[in-house]
């Protein structure tokens, strides 16, 4: 795959027809044969099932440990009035961004890092890879913080819960089959919806939630640095650089083609809807802490939220919340470590596929293993400020998003490689608006943290 060079004179990138077939090609061809037979049989639901995966995983994977803690902190600090519709808006933004990655994947058959490197040259290729790997390592740390936090709620020592998390993440690489890995993760990702029954056990006011969604409720406390930090954290909980790299590479690894684009879009939309439901449910589940005026600024991790919620939503609700935090960390650790592997291997022209065996994919699997072990080790450092790290990572992800989005827009508008799948007017309007909005919010955050006296007293 990565040995090909970019043909700048053609409307799309060349396939691998000039190369001899590898075992990973054979595995991918078997999966494609099922798709072709299903399409010929006009079985639309089965076709969607076969092609679903990258979109659902990227959206539910982004409902990760720091994201769910960000939503929990938001609900406990501000309730649901302002942030429930805001979260819906961020997932709409996320859909527009990720839909572009699907089109890039099916049009070019290249992962995102590989495409940047070949289209813009080594400087931008290494810049994009460095940006991603740095952000992913920070995020991986917070995923193990989430796993550790869930374990603490159930009485497990930190080292044991982290060790179990590492074993499961590394064990997922042992499938050596993309479709098996994908289906296993989709099954695990479904447990992100544990936050829904936890929210129901909080006995929310349905009319108040509907009113907030319809009218964009008021903001308690006014415009402060804390509010802007949570705005950035909530944006970083839904729109982050790793998502772009992961979904495009997964689309390519899955072998999706232009004919699969409608299902790819539906897959992404379904993932966005499910993730938005779980995110708002987390907001609702922790809103009782806001009503009880609980100060969450002293909480050390997600386990403290579950413990504080126990007298308010019951033992069952708090247990579901803690299990949801563990699931969020696990799924994200699996997808984010794979995202780093794809990016690193694509940039240095090494083989990159979950269909590879370990001998042929040493760099690909090695990157995931090393990053996982390093992140897990950092979490076990005594006295680390875990909750502050969790919230800060989402803020950093938001600040890193503008350059990643700009490169994405340039590629999506490149008709030489995209052909008729290039961005149209409305896609550019949506994408440009998102870039400008994220850049402005990030700049505003920088200004008010540097000059806090500018804020109203």
pLDDT tens-digit series, residues 185-216 = 999 999 999 999 999 999 988 888 888 888 88
Q: pLDDT tens across 339-366, in order?
A: 989 988 888 888 888 888 888 889 999 9
Q: What is the model's pLDDT at position 434?
A: 86
Residue 263, both tokens:
């299902």
∠ CA 404-70-428, rounded to 5°: 30
- Confidence check: pLDDT of 267 > 90: yes
Q: Which residue's entry shows tokens 């296993």?
A: 184
Identify which has the larger pLDDT, 431 or 410.
410
Distance between CA atoms of 314 and 312, rounded to whole angstroms? 6
Sorting pLDDT into bands at 50, 70 and 90, what band is 14? very low
Average pLDDT (127-148) is 85
Considering 220-224, 394-398, 404-408, 453-457, the range whose residues carry the highest mean pLDDT is 404-408
> CA-CA-CA-CA torsion for 335, 337, 338, 340, nearest 10 degrees?
130
Q: What pLDDT is recorded for position 291?
A: 86
d(CA 265, CA 55): 8
pLDDT value for 216: 84
Q: Inform me whether the pLDDT recorded for 378 exceeds 90.
A: no
Sole residue written with tokens 């850049």 = 439
Q: Is the pLDDT of residue 9 over 60?
A: no
> Where exactly are the structural domains of the chain?
31-454
Q: Which CATH superfamily is domain 31-454 in?
A: Amino acid/polyamine transporter I (1.20.1740.10)
What pLDDT does residue 400 have? 75
- What pLDDT shows up at residue 233? 79
Residue, of 302 and 250, whose pLDDT is higher: 250
Judged against a pLDDT cut of 60, whether residue 337 lies above it is answered with yes
Read off the DSSP letter of residue 216. T
- Residues contacting residue 323 through CB under 8 Å, at least 6 positions apart: 150, 191, 194
The three-point CA angle 167-171-172 to 5° equals 125
Residue with tokens 């942030």: 83
Look at residue 402 in the predicted model and tell me its pLDDT. 80
CB 92 within 8 A of CB 81: no
Maximum CA pair distance of the chain? 69
- Percent of the chain beyond pLDDT 70? 89
Check whether 226 has a pLDDT greater than 50: yes
Neighbours of 140 (CB within 10 A): 30
List helix spans (H) across 216-254. 225-236, 241-254
- The Cα 199–Cα 179 span in angstroms is 33
Q: Does the structure show a pLDDT above 80 at 4?
A: no
Q: 264-298: string of b/e by CB count within 10 Å (b at 16+)?
A: bbebbbebbebbbbbbbbbbbbbbbbbeeebebee
What is the chain's percent helix, strand, coil content, to nearest 5?
Answer: 80, 0, 20
The residue whose two tokens read 């539906």 is 266
Q: Which residue has the higher pLDDT, 22 or 355?
A: 355
Of the two residues 269 and 19, the one the predictor is more confident about is: 269
pLDDT of residue 194: 94
pLDDT band for position 224 (cuts 50, 70, 90): confident
Contact between residue 356 and residue 364 where contact means Cβ atoms under 8 Å apart: yes
Q: Report d(CA 215, CA 126) in Å as an integer.
A: 45
Closest CA to 185 of 91, 305, 58, 309: 58
Task: Give the pLDDT band (50/70/90) at residue 249.
Answer: very high
Confidence of residue 57 (pLDDT cuts 50, 70, 90): very high
* Contact between 129 and 344 (Cβ < 8 Å): yes
Range in 80-94, 220-234, 331-345 the model is least confident about:
220-234
**How much is the pLDDT for 18?**
46
C-alpha 337, offset from chain centre: 11
CA angle 21/116/399 to nearest 5° reads 135
Instruction: Kindly state the DSSP code that residue 385 receives in the 8-state scheme.
Output: -
Closest to 326 measured CA to CA, from 189, 435, 210, 123: 189
Confidence (pLDDT) at 7: 40
Whether residue 383 is predicted with pLDDT greater than 80 in this model: the reply is: no
Provide the mean pLDDT of the chain.
85
Stretch 22-51: mean pLDDT: 86
């Amino acid at each position: 795959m990565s040995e090909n060079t970019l043909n700048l004179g053609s409307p799309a990138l060349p396939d691998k027809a000039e190369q001899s077939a590898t075992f990973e090609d054979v595995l991918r061809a078997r999966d494609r044969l099922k798709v072709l037979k299903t399409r010929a049989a006009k079985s639309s639901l089965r076709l969607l099932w076969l092609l679903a995966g990258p979109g659902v995983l990227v959206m539910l994977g982004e409902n990760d440990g720091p994201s769910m803690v960000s939503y929990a902190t938001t609900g406990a600090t501000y309730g649901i009035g302002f942030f429930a519709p805001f979260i819906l808006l961020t997932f709409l933004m996320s859909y527009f961004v990720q839909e572009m990655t699907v089109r890039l994947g099916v049009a070019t058959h290249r992962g995102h890092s590989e495409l940047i490197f070949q289209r813009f040259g080594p400087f931008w290729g290494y810049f994009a890879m460095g940006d991603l790997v740095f952000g992913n390592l920070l995020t991986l740390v917070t995923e193990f913080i989430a796993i550790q936090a869930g374990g603490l709620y159930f009485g497990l020592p930190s080292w044991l819960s982290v060790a179990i998390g590492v074993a499961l993440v590394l064990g997922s690489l042992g499938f050596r089959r993309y479709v098996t890995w994908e289906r296993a993760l989709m099954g695990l990702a479904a447990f992100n919806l544990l936050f829904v029954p936890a929210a129901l056990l909080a006995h929310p006011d349905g009319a108040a939630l509907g009113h907030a969604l319809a009218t964009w409720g008021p903001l308690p406390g006014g415009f402060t640095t804390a509010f802007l930090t949570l705005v950035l954290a909530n944006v970083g909980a839904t729109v982050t650089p790793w998502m772009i790299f992961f979904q495009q590479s997964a689309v390519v690894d899955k072998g999706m083609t232009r004919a699969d684009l409608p299902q790819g879009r539906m897959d992404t939309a379904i993932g966005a809807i499910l993730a938005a439901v779980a995110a708002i449910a987390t907001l609702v589940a922790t809103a009782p802490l806001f009503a009880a005026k609980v100060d969450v600024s002293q909480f050390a991790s997600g386990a403290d939220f579950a413990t504080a919620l126990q007298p308010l939503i019951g033992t069952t609700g708090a247990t579901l919340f803690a299990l949801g935090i563990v699931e969020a960390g696990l799924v994200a650790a699996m997808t984010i470590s794979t995202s780093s592997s794809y990016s690193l291997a694509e940039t240095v022209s090494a083989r990159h596929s979950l269909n590879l065996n370990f001998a042929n994919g040493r760099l690909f699997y090695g990157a995931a293993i090393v990053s996982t072990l390093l992140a897990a080790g950092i979490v076990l450092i005594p006295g680390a400020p875990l909750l502050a790290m969790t919230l800060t990572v989402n803020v950093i992800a938001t600040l890193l998003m503008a350059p990643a989005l700009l490169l994405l827009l340039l590629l999506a508008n490149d008709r030489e490689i995209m052909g008729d799948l290039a961005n149209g007017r409305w896609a550019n309007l949506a994408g440009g608006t998102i870039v400008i909005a994220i850049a402005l919010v990030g700049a505003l955050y920088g200004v008010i943290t540097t000059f806090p006296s500018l804020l109203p007293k």
